[in-house]
Structure 1
């Protein structure tokens, strides 16, 4: 019988990882941030949305998915500065997520694009970025 490998739910891992890292930072910018794989309804003052866009399998054990990360803020008197700073903070968190520890499937961050300003239908500040990751799967009997 051949080897079977299962990959972890990357959205679940990254949303939890980003949420914990933001809480650990404890600054006003990092506090009260809604982190999910779905857009909030109703909108929240600060939101980070993670989407797994998939990607190729690189080997029997590894895959190379791309994740999209959207950062939203509500009406912003700083003209988007809060959204930009939160996006840069989230970028730093995601770039540092590759670790050898239980439950962490990310073996390497292969590339990063953004964050970019993206128009939002509400007129509120929105930033978008993508990360290319190398993830390791787990053996499945």
Structure 2
């Protein structure tokens, strides 16, 4: 997972941005329950792992070589990786040439997006996540019976 090197001093900011997909988006791809109100089954987790690995392969500068002994997840999208790498290159090129946004504009957009999804929250999934947390730490947060 080698970050894309900068080709000039002006592109130093691009080097800082490059690990973003590998640190943030891959984590979101693998764990959608962090940002969405969903429950991930084992079979969905396996599919998301393949997608995340494809994303990683698309964002690295190392050459994507597959062979007879390559894992299935590498073989599945091997033909698409060069095209995905071109899309990633264009993405960083677009970021480099884009005008800077202002804080108020971003805050307004995020508030609008947050409000548009408020009605789609699934209370049962949220309760299930709370239950898992409470169940895991129950002994640590409740006093022993003799203390009461």
Do these two structures clear the TM 0.5 threshold for a shared fold by scoring above it?
no
Q: Under a length normalisation based on structure 1, what TM-score does the superposition of the two structures give?
A: 0.23
Larger Rg: 1 or 2? Answer: 2
Q: Under a length normalisation based on structure 2, what TM-score does the superposition of the two structures give?
A: 0.23
Larger helix fraction of residues: 2
Larger strand fraction of residues: 1
